[in-house]
Chains A and B, each alone.
Chain A
Amino acid sequence: MTPVLHVRGLSAGWGPMRVVHDLDLTVRAGERVGLVGLNGHGKSSLFLAIAGLTTWQRGSIELNGIEVGRNRSQGPGRYTHLVVRKGLALIPQGDEIFNGLTVEEHLDSGAFTPRAWRDRGPRKKKILAIFPPLEKLMRVPVGRLSGGERRMVSIGRGLMSDASLFLVDEPSLGLAPKIGKSVMDALMAVELGSSAMVIAEQNVGLVEGRVDRIIGMHSGKLKGEASVLSPSLPPTPLPSPSLGVSL
């Protein structure tokens, strides 16, 4: 079975800076993967590179067996919508919401593919079941919501899509610990089916023991992985980074 995400030799960065170094990663259907690492070690850049939003990148990115990566030296975001239409849902760091749109319009905007758009009523119900506080806020502009509510909207927007790969960037960032934990609970409750989810997180405790596997990221490289059961983290750097591939 083809993996949902198959990244080979991906390098990416911003201007003269190279942030992601020649990286390999495979995510299979139904997997929930935790990507842990310190601030500034390339977790977000890896996600943005998969979405084609870094200023340059090279290497191969296969989404459900379809090549969506390309060698690119400019035009960040030029091909992002095409990658998204192939089945990527990026839930970005810092939410990236549309201030003036209401919560409902937000959720609608997440349902991009024609099938998701026709099916958006039931999908919104599903999102409201995951995030009940949004029910009362459907007609409120998102710019007036609190940080936790915004995070729910942002995640809800990602979950509205038909995506086969959900990349969730720092879902607990900037939230009170209790709210961050409930957001994480909600992410764990999402039924993946044949799709997969990668959660980038600095707070190892939030993902530990709740995802199928944890991969460490350090200086733009993947540094081995720990299975769910392993209690000790951060993961020990393994001699060969290719062990992060887990074929």
Chain B
Amino acid sequence: MNWQYIAINAVTLACMYGTLAIGLSLTWSSVGLVNMAYGFTFALSGYGAWLAAEYVSENAFVVIGAGVLVGALGGLLVCALAFIPIHDKPNFALRGMIATLAISLVGNQALLWYFGPRAKTLPRLFGTSSVDMFGIRITADKLGASASAIVLLTLVLLWMRSSRRGLEIRAMMMNPHAASIVGIGVRQTGLFVMALTGGLAGLASVLLAQTYYVAPFSGITPMIKGLSIALVGGLGSVTGAVIGAMLLGVNEALTASLLGGQYVLITQFLLIIVILLVRPRGIAGILDKAREA
């Protein structure tokens, strides 16, 4: 029983899933779209990073940058196909979900057709060394992945807090109707949100590929986990998503080493069901200080 190992794994997984959950949560609460194509964006940006590593350079910045860029482009593609044409039509929430699901299916098959079923591995961006920290041995890939996820997420959240565009996105998350009254263009902001969340998917994809690999369907499980974390956290709440990601990260690491990897999804969904039974609006239901209108 190695508690340190479990703790490190929990933190790494929490960073990855938190990134995905925040992306999904932002999309849902600002543009009202359950983005089922997030797994496709994830896989696509993994391939983007792989191509960059293969043909351009294996430099960490180049690979991560390529992943984030391709992810943002994927997000824009989803926005152009599933948000812009139908966002003000009746029943958008359901239609949008079906449209993104369709993009996900077509996109994943296209990746399979073009790149083949064999998984690709990304270069070890952070080297193979390991550091001793507080008496715990941390391998460079886990440290690097967690650190870059935390740094980039913090940057994104600070940008959301301080910039004008961030203010617009937050306003749209809270009241889309009022947002249009103060002159915020729904479609324009939607493009920004989708590019931003796509970029987050790209980041998570490259970082997760440090321990796993890139494959046509590699995005499906992370997307499901991200979505369930977003639900547990309370859709639309970034803090809730972070707490949810930590809870599920700890759960996954614990289950994997105590019971075995095949039980991870079982305990994960049990935990999610229990949390949602107690707190139907997710963890954010506790955090929410402002009352509803």
Contacts and interface: CB of A to CB of B under 8 A. Distances in A.
Interface residues of A, number: 35
Nearest to A77: B180
Given A81-B184, A81-B186, A109 B167 contact: yes
B291 interface: yes
A143 B287 CA distance: 14
A145 to B, nearest CB: 9
Contact of B183 (A53, A98, A161): A161
Given A78-B88, A98-B170, A99-B291, A92 B183 contact: no
Contacts of B178: 92, 96-98
A77 B176 CA distance: 10
Contacts of B277: none
B290 A81 contact: no
Given A77-B88, A81-B180, A101 B171 contact: yes
B185 interface: yes
A108 B164 CA distance: 9
Contacts of A198: none
Contacts of B183: 81, 84-85, 112-113, 161
Contact of A84 (B170, B174, B182, B186): B182
B292 A109 contact: no
Interface in B262-293: 289-293
A110 B289 CA distance: 23
B175 interface: yes
Contact of A100 (B88, B168, B174, B186): B174
B94 interface: no
Nearest to B236: A100
Contacts of A105: 167, 170
A95 B176 CA distance: 13
Contacts of A75: 88-89
Interface in B151-179: 164, 167-168, 170-171, 174-179
Nearest to A91: B181
A109 B168 contact: yes
A104 to B, nearest CB: 10
Sorting the interface of chain B by its residue count into under 10, 10 to 19, 20 to 34 or 35 or more gives: 20 to 34
For A81, A101, A157, the residue with the greatest tally of chain B CB atoms inside 10 Å of its CB is A81
Interface in B95-135: none
Contacts of B170: 98, 100-101, 105
A76 interface: yes
Nearest to A143: B290
A92 B181 contact: yes
A134 B182 CA distance: 20
Nearest to B237: A100
Interface string A89-127: 010101111111100010011101100010000000000
Given A75-B88, A109-B167, A144-B290, A99 B182 contact: no
A148 interface: no
Contact of A98 (B88, B164, B171): B171
A98 B181 contact: no
Contact of B181 (A80, A141, A142): A80
A81 B190 CA distance: 14
A207 interface: no
Contacts of B181: 51, 53, 80, 84, 90, 92, 96
Contacts of A142: 290
A103 to B, nearest CB: 12
Contacts of A74: 88-89
Interface of B: 88-89, 164, 167-168, 170-171, 174-186, 289-293
28 contacts: A53-B181, A74-B88, A75-B89, A77-B177, A81-B183, A81-B185, A81-B186, A82-B185, A84-B181, A94-B293, A95-B293, A96-B178, A97-B293, A98-B170, A98-B175, A98-B178, A98-B179, A99-B174, A100-B290, A101-B174, A108-B167, A109-B167, A109-B168, A109-B182, A112-B183, A141-B289, A143-B291, A161-B182
Interface of A: 51, 53, 74-78, 80-82, 84-85, 90, 92, 94-101, 105, 108-110, 112-113, 117, 141-144, 157, 161
